[in-house]
Amino acid sequence: MADSAQRSGDRLLAQQTALARFGELALHSEDLQEILHDACRLVAEGLETGLAKVLALQPDGRTLLVVAGVGWEPGVVGHAVLRADPGTLEACALADPDPLVCADTEAETRYRIAPFMEAHGVRSFVNVLVIGADGRPPWGMLEVDSREPREFDADETAFLQTYANMLAAAVDRLRSGDELRARAADVERLFRELQHRVKNNLQVIVGLMQLQSRRATQPETLEALRVVSQRVDALRLLHDKLYLAGDVDRVDLGAYLGELAGTLLRFHAAEERQVRLVLEMRRMIAAPEQAAPLGLIVNEFITNSLKYAFEGPDGTVGLRLEPARGGEARLILWDDGRGLPDQRAGGTGMRLIDGLARQLSARVDWSPTGRGTRLSLLLKGPRPA
């Protein structure tokens, strides 16, 4: 009697240990097949039967596929398909939420078992449902089979039911994760499509302004159209960078601002002025909502330099982007032209720069460089790549 109690206690301890190990796997693993296989292995070991399987209910609600198992010959797991027709074990199991227990299949008259179970000599089993979440139909079944007639007691049935409940939680977790990832992929796809359309629309606007510029006869009108066209083109270049990189929420700020500066100088190359561009751009990542105002600031600074800074045909414009203390970023724009006027606040471009800097909550410093102009912006957000 004492030996029997000892064996029973050892078996219970082993089952509880196996449950704890499986619970950790079911909570953290992202591989459903691994979870299902370990469930079969552990319940077969815990109940000392050598046979176990998981059946997944298919979308038609009447067909079950053996998706995992231990102890079966090749050709069963992943292949055996069972129909829950009247008079079958599967139909009875699906119709009753309680565990289905059979002590001896040869004495069973309520239902018939699958041919592959007969071929493997199954004489007894216990079957529990893997419930569905939020009122959904059952996900499937977990079943332990034995080649010997056997009475499965209440503790053993509860042990198997606990595994089935853990399986249900794992399946629901992974299914929810798959649904969230699918939704995220849809949102990203739609946002990329939106970025593409915005880029195309900005290109159309630039084209229309260029067309109007060719028709304009007044110098003031021509200049106004050119200024606005450059601002729109700065935004178009940003969206182009986002679309080509495949990232809808981040942009390489150094590459974007450097390319924008080069484009502006090429745009003004026909003015018979040899302006050199100096770039010292660290690779830093920023959100599009920060990159857009910074692009407009670069556009305004360089445009103003090209229009007002240089008295002769030569000059230099420079950009520097670098990390600063406290996780901030510093953007410096400079030229070696005639310098700032005594009364700086007046031009539309410089007022726009100050307004965009406030929008970014950036600290702005306008300072002379001995010869020329220097604008420094210190802001949070951009980070080294």
Categorize the per-residue pLDDT at 5 as very low, low, confident or very high, splitting at 50, 70 and 90.
low
For residue 8, pLDDT beyond 60:
no
**Which two structure tokens, joined as six digits, stand for 156?**
């053993």
Answer with the residue of higher pLDDT: 342 or 167.
167
Give the separation between CA 261 and CA 276, rounded to whole angstroms. 11
pLDDT at 235: 66
Write the pLDDT tens digit of every residue in 313-339.
Answer: 788 999 999 999 888 999 999 998 888
47, 152 contact by CB (below 8 A): yes
pLDDT at 352: 83
**Which two structure tokens, joined as six digits, stand for 15?**
């089952």
Interior/surface letters 146-173, b for 16+ CB within 10 angstroms, e for the rest: beeebebeeebbebbbbbbbbbbbbbbb
21, amino acid identity: R
Give the separation between CA 99 and CA 47, rounded to whole angstroms. 15
For residue 267, pLDDT beyond 80:
no
H or E segment to which residue 278 belongs: strand 274-281
H or E segment to which residue 127 belongs: strand 124-130
- CB atoms under 10 Å from CB of 86, counted, come to 8
Write the pLDDT tens digit of every residue in 129-146.
Answer: 998 877 788 999 999 999
Write the pLDDT tens digit of every residue in 149-204.
Answer: 999 988 888 888 888 888 888 888 888 777 777 776 776 676 566 556 656 666 66
pLDDT at 135: 73
Q: What integer is the mean pLDDT of 100-127?
A: 93
Write the pLDDT tens digit of every residue in 305-316.
Answer: 888 888 777 889
For residue 261, pLDDT beyond 60:
yes
Answer with the residue of higher pLDDT: 126 or 178.
126
Domain coordinates in residue numbering, the chain: 2-179, 249-384
Give the separation between CA 43 and CA 50, rounded to whole angstroms. 9
Q: What residues contact 62, with CB distance under 8 A and at least 6 apart?
A: 83, 84, 85
CATH architecture assignment, domain 2-179: 2-Layer Sandwich (3.30)
Give the separation between CA 172 and CA 178, rounded to whole angstroms. 10
Q: Which CATH superfamily is domain 249-384 in?
A: Histidine kinase-like ATPase, C-terminal domain (3.30.565.10)
306, 269 contact by CB (below 8 A): no
Write the pLDDT tens digit of every residue in 14-56.
Answer: 666 666 667 666 666 788 888 888 888 888 888 889 999 999 9
Helix/strand/coil percent split, the chain, to 5: 50, 20, 25
